[in-house]
Every structure is written in C-alpha cells, then in structure tokens.
C-alpha cells in the first residue's frame, strides 16, 4: 500500500486539521433525521445500534432483504462522525430513519411504493433524504413527492450512477436533488473522477467512493465502492451540519458545501469535493452577517454615458453546459452536445434557438418549434404547436408564446391554469414555474412557488422579465429592477440599480445591462461571475446556472463565470 496516498486520503477526506472555532460547537438536542430509502438496514449492527429510529418497509415482496442499505446507513453515520470530529466531538448526533424499498418495484407499480416511501420520510420529519439508487427513467409520481419535500425544505441526495457515461439517472437528475459522484486520489495525491462515476452536467458534488470500509451483514465490515456510498457520505455531512446549525436554512447549509467545495477539473465533478472546514467557516460567517460569504455586488462602471446600439450581433443562448446560436439558419453549439442535443445541428430554416439545462429548442421560419435532448416529463414533445413566437426552457418543461399572445406549456405544468392569461408579450421559465408579461405591464406566474420566486404581487409597469429556479426578476418602465425569491446572496437587493434595459438570472446571482452598455451584477460570486466591471459597450446578456454571456456592439463575446 502507498502510505503517502493513504495519509493524504485521511487528511483530505477527514480534514483532520483543526477547524476554526465554531459558533455551534455543541450538538443540538433536537432530533436531526437522515432518512435512508434503500434495501434492508440491520439496525442491530454494532456500528448502527442505538443510532436508528423505527422506520417502515415499502416492499411489494417481503422476501427481498439485500444488505446494501446497512452499508449506506453506515456511510451516512461515518461522515456524520467525521463532521462532528471537525467540531471537536467524537460522534455525530444524527439518527437514521430506515425505509426499506426495492428499486425494481418501480417497474411494476409505476413508482407508487417509491413515492409513498418518499412521502413517509417527509411526514416523519426527515431533514435529509438519501436515495442511493438510480433508474434510467424519471417518474412523475415520485417527483411529485420529492417536490413536496422541497417545499418543506427537505434536502434530497442521490447517487449520480455507476455507468461511467454522461447519461442522466434518477432521482439524481431531478431538479432540486443533489447528485453525487465518486472520486479517488491518484498517485500524485490529487482527486480524480472514478471511472465508473457518471459524468453528466447535473452532478453537484463528488467525494470518495472507492474502497470505503463500511458495516455489512450482521456484524462484519467490508470495502464498498460506488456512487451510492458517495451520496451517503454527503448526506452524513449535511445531516451533522444541520444538527449544529439549526437556526440556518437547510438549503443554505447545502450551499455552504457547494460554494466551498474543492474544484476538480474533470467532466462530471460539479462544484468539487466537499471541504468541511471551509463549510464550517462559511456557516459561522453567515451567522454573523446574515449573508453568504461569497456574495458580491459589482461597482458601477461609469466610463460610458451614452446608449449603445448595434445593428448586427449574434444572440447567443446560454445553456447549463453549452451555448447555442444561429448562423445562416443553422444551429451552432459550443460545448456539451450529449443527451441527443447534437440532433439540433441537422435542423434547417431556424430563426431562433434556445439553450436549456438538458435540452435545446428552436423555432423555424414557419413558426414551428423543435426540441431535442433529454425528454424529462415529455418537455420535448411539442406536437401540434404552431405559430410560435418565442419559447422558454425549464429543466422540467417547455413553454411557448403564440402569435396570438397565448401561453402553452408541456406536461409538467398541465394542472396549472394559464388559460385566462391575455395579451402576453414575453415569457420566461424557472425550474418549477412559468412567468408571463402582458402588454399593460402586469406579471403572471403559474407553477410551484418553492422558493418564493413567484411572489410578484405588487409588481406593475414591468417591461421585461427573467426567471431562474430560485429567483424571478423584472424591469419596470423606470429602469429599476425588482427581484423575488431566495436572497442568501443578497441577489434581491437591487434597489440601487438604475437605467437597466435587460436583466437575467443565474443560480444565486442577478446580472443587469445598463443603457450605457455597462453591466452590473449582484449575488453569488462563484467562479467570479459577478466581476463585471471590465465589461463595456455591451448590447446583449444571457445567463445560465454559473455563468453568463455578454456580447458587445462589435459582436465580441465574453463569458463571466464557468460553464
């Protein structure tokens, strides 16, 4: 065995260097529950004994008692203990809620038992729900229950999958679920993605997933490998931090891991490897200031004082891991073409293109829309759509605006009422909602208001709108910007912005284009996305999750952040 690598592994995974003094060094007496939806968990194993509460079985065949769940629960507790060690305590303070399922049952019961298991975990007060299993296909009923949990502030964690490809697997690829992949240390002591770990653009975090010693069977221990155990490790870290910081919104605790992760420069590694020390520092600073430590507000560039115009620019659409634009009525894609997005390259007579998270869509010269990419909840099924003026892409659905100023959507929002919307001139979409702007400056929203992003009551005289999953923004006729939704990064505090002519929303940040061609940005400054003071003569902006595109009057393209 290479003891140098072993030592580095212990150092990096356990973070044994002393953390800064924590404001919350003592465990909280309130019960913190991590639900483990998995196969049988042996709660009498010495490593688990006394650390599980009574759960429930959702098996259609009670004879199925695989032991995968025992090791998953062990990984949750192991990393809970590691996190507690960072806070000078020997053992974590979370409890495991065992929920027994057989993932194969979803093929025969259409997700009924799986959905009921998720709802049971929510009803039992789970803070974190670990789902270390995967399926190639999404299930609307299961996601309905997950969305119920998201509305309650529950954190969902799932394994990215072990195929080694860039395909999506579920529940990891659902909007709002933390997708976790696997890494290991190479001979140079650097993190590298495990060959088996799925490398799609939906992975959020990666952590050690190879040869982890975990409890198994009635009393034994065994080395386990796979993204299942990586997911459980992240669930354990989250559970313990939630216990120590119970006055902090659970989603903000997740963001502390995302915002401080050690970046791994490989496809399918998301934000990187969690750094517990840095996450604790982050949360301590948040408690003192009430705002994320990575928040940033750009200063105003007043170099140019006159409006900027351009007669010929390329309108580039920003997707999660790719960009798209139209040249001579053909689509050009820069970046990730996987999940069949590359099929759009063969389309003809294209007027407008729209880049989304896992899909791409376009409108041809006849007003007919097309879509390609991953077809979750049938968001690419646009049969019968015609006379389409514009589209808006969500991770869960597609919305269209017709030439008679009516809005239509695909299946995910089929139970929402948008039939009364009249005289619509613009639409935008977030992960769970669609927004429409009428000719008289009114804003309409429909969908699921999980993050308060639909709280636009009182908005009036709006001339432009933009949406993200957690935020919604609008510009009024006076050039002021209004923002609704989550405000961890201060991204809603745009009162001092003026003369804004365009705005867009990323994941935790807002970017605005001023009439003089300069740009302002506020919020989550991950990958320096909000450092915009150098931009000038800009005529167009478009934002995605962790970056935005700016195009100047000479048709030069600039990218802020990281694709």
Which CATH number covers residue 97? 3.40.50.200
Residues 245 and 302 in one domain: no
- State yes or no: pLDDT of 12 exceeds 50: no
Residues 90 and 218 in one domain: yes
Q: Positive or negative CA dihedral for 340, 342, 345, 349?
A: positive
Residues 110 and 232 in one domain: yes
What pLDDT, on a 0 to 100 scale, did the predictor assign at position 3? 41
Q: State the average pLDDT over residues 103-114.
A: 74
Residue 280 lies in a domain: no
- State yes or no: pLDDT of 23 exceeds 90: no
Q: Which residues of 187-217 are buried (b: 16+ CB within 10 A; e: fewer)?
A: eeeebebbebbbbbbbbbbbbbbbebebbbe
Residue 1 lies in a domain: no
* Tokens of residue 218, six digits: 């009635």
Residues 233 and 337 in one domain: no
pLDDT tens by residue, 130-182: 999 988 889 999 999 999 999 999 999 999 999 998 889 999 999 999 999 99
Residues 301 and 230 in one domain: no
* C-alpha–C-alpha distance, residues 534 and 525, integer Å: 15
Residue 258 lies in a domain: no
pLDDT tens by residue, 214-225: 999 888 999 999
Residue 11 lies in a domain: no
Residues 219 and 304 in one domain: no
Candidate from 87-101, 200-214, 254-268 with smallest mean pLDDT: 87-101
The domain tally of the chain equals: 2
pTM score over 0.85: yes
Q: Positive or negative CA dihedral for 40, 42, 47, 48?
A: positive
The residue whose two tokens read 């659905």 is 397
> What's the whole-number average pLDDT of the chain?
91
Q: Burial level of 500, CB count in 10 A (0-12/13-18/19+)? A: buried
How would DSSP label each residue in 326-348? Answer: EETTEEEEEE--TTTGGGGGG--
What pLDDT, on a 0 to 100 scale, did the predictor assign at position 10? 41
Read off the CATH number of the domain in which 484 is found: 2.130.10.30
Residues 327 and 454 in one domain: yes
| C-alpha separations of 85 from 89, 92, 246, 503 in Å | 5, 8, 18, 44
Q: State the average pLDDT over residues 58-68.
A: 72
Q: Where are the beta strands (DSSP E) in 85-231?
A: 94-100, 128-131, 155-159, 177-185, 191-193, 205-208, 212-216, 220-224
Residue 269 lies in a domain: no
What pLDDT, on a 0 to 100 scale, did the predictor assign at position 64? 57
Cis before 285? omega within 30:
no
pLDDT tens by residue, 174-189: 999 999 999 999 988 8
* C-alpha–C-alpha distance, residues 250 and 273, integer Å: 19
Reported confidence tier of residue 539, pLDDT bands at 50, 70, 90: very high
* Tokens of residue 340, six digits: 């069949």
Residues 239 and 304 in one domain: no
Residues 323 and 243 in one domain: no
**Phi-psi category of residue 508: left, alpha or beta, with phi > 0 → left and psi -120 to 50 → alpha:** left
- Looking at per-residue pLDDT, the higher value among 42 and 314 belongs to 42
What pLDDT, on a 0 to 100 scale, did the predictor assign at position 8? 41
Residue 2 lies in a domain: no
Of residues 122, 96, 111, 113, the one with CA closest to residue 42: 96
Contact 432, 439 (CB under 8 A): no
Residues 221 and 320 in one domain: no
Q: Burial level of 395, CB count in 10 A (0-12/13-18/19+)? A: buried
* C-alpha–C-alpha distance, residues 487 and 485, integer Å: 6
For helices 227-244 and 250-260, angle between their N-to-C axes, nearest 10 degrees:
120
* C-alpha–C-alpha distance, residues 524 and 501, integer Å: 22
* C-alpha–C-alpha distance, residues 541 and 300, integer Å: 17
Q: Which residues contact 170 (CB under 8 A, 6 or more apart)?
A: 134, 135, 136, 137, 138, 139, 142, 158
Reported confidence tier of residue 104, pLDDT bands at 50, 70, 90: low
Of residues 19, 3, 534, the one with CA closest to residue 275: 19
Q: Phi/psi of residue 145, each to 5°? A: -70, -40
Q: Which residues contact 283 (CB under 8 A, 6 or more apart)?
A: 24, 241, 245, 248, 252, 253, 256
What pLDDT, on a 0 to 100 scale, did the predictor assign at position 495? 95
Residue 475 lies in a domain: yes
Residues 301 and 228 in one domain: no
Residues 239 and 333 in one domain: no
Q: State the average pLDDT over residues 10-21.
A: 41
Residue 287 lies in a domain: no
What pLDDT, on a 0 to 100 scale, did the predictor assign at position 16? 36
464 CB neighbour count, 10 Å cutoff: 19
pLDDT tens by residue, 255-312: 999 999 999 999 999 999 999 999 999 999 999 999 999 999 987 665 545 455 555 7
Domain holding 134, by residue range, is 22-250
Residue 19 DSSP one-character state: P
Antiparallel, parallel or unpaired: β 177-185 and 205-208: parallel
Candidate from 17-31, 270-284, 468-482 with smallest mean pLDDT: 17-31
- State yes or no: pLDDT of 538 exceeds 90: yes
């Amino acid at each position: 065995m290479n003891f140098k690598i072993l030592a580095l592994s212990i150092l990096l995974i356990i973070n044994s260097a002393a953390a800064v003094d924590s404001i919350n060094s003592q465990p909280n007496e309130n019960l913190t529950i991590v639900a483990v939806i998995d196969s049988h968990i042996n709660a009498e194993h010495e490593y688990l004994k006394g650390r599980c509460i009574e759960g429930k079985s959702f098996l259609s065949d009670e004879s199925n008692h695989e032991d995968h769940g025992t090791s998953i629960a062990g990984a949750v507790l192991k990393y809970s203990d590691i996190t507690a060690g960072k806070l000078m305590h020997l053992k974590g303070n979370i409890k495991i809620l065992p929920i027994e399922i057989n993932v194969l049952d979803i093929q025969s019961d259409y997700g009924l038992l799986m959905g009921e298991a998720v709802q049971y975990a929510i009803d039992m007060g789970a803070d974190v729900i670990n789902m270390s299993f995967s399926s190639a296909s999404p299930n609307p009923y299961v996601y309905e229950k997950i969305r119920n949990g998201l509305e309650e502030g529950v954190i969902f964690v799932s394994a990215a999958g072990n195929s080694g490809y860039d395909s999506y697997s579920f529940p990891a690829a659902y909007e709002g679920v933390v997708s976790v992949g696997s890494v290991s240390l190479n001979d140079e002591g650097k993190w590298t993605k495990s060959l088996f770990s799925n490398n799609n653009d939906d992975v959020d975090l990666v952590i050690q997933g190879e040869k982890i010693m975990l409890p198994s069977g009635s009393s034994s221990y065994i080395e386990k490998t796979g993204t299942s155990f990586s997911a459980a490790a992240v669930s354990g870290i989250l559970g313990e931090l939630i216990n120590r910081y119970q006055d902090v919104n659970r989603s903000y605790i997740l963001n502390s891991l995302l915002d401080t992760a050690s970046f791994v420069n490989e496809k399918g590694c998301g934000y990187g490897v969690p750094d517990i020390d840095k996450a604790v520092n982050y949360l301590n600073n948040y408690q003192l200031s009430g705002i994320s430590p990575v928040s940033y507000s750009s200063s105003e560039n007043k170099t140019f004082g006159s409006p900027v115009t351009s007669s010929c620019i390329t309108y580039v659409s920003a997707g999660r891991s790719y960009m798209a634009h139209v040249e001579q009525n053909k689509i050009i894609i820069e970046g990730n073409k996987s999940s069949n997005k590359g099929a759009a390259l063969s389309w003809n007579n294209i007027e407008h293109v729209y880049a989304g998270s896992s899909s791409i869509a376009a409108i041809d010269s006849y007003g007919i829309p097309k879509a390609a990419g991953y077809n979750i909840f049938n968001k690419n099924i646009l049969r019968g759509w015609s006379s389409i003026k514009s589209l808006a892409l969500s991770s869960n659905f597609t919305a269209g605006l017709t030439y008679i100023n009516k809005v239509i959507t695909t299946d995910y929002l089929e139970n929402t009422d948008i039939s009364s919307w009249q005289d619509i001139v613009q639409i935008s979409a977030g992960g769970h909602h669609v927004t429409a702007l009428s000719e008289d400056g009114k804003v309409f929203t429909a969908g699921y208001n999980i993050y308060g992003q639909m709280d636009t009551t009182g908005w009036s005289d709006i001339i432009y709108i933009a949406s993200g999953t957690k935020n919604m923004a609008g510009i009024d006729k006076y050039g002021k910007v209004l923002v609704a939704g989550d405000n961890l990064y201060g991204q809603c505090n745009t009162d001092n912005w003026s003369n804004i002519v365009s705005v867009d929303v990323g994941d935790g940040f807002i970017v605005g284009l001023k009439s003089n061609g300069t740009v302002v940005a506020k919020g989550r400054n991950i990958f320096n996305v909000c450092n915009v003071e150098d931009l000038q003569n800009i005529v167009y902006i478009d934002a995605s999750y962790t970056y935005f595109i700016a195009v100047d009057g000479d048709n030069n393209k600039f990218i802020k952040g990281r694709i």
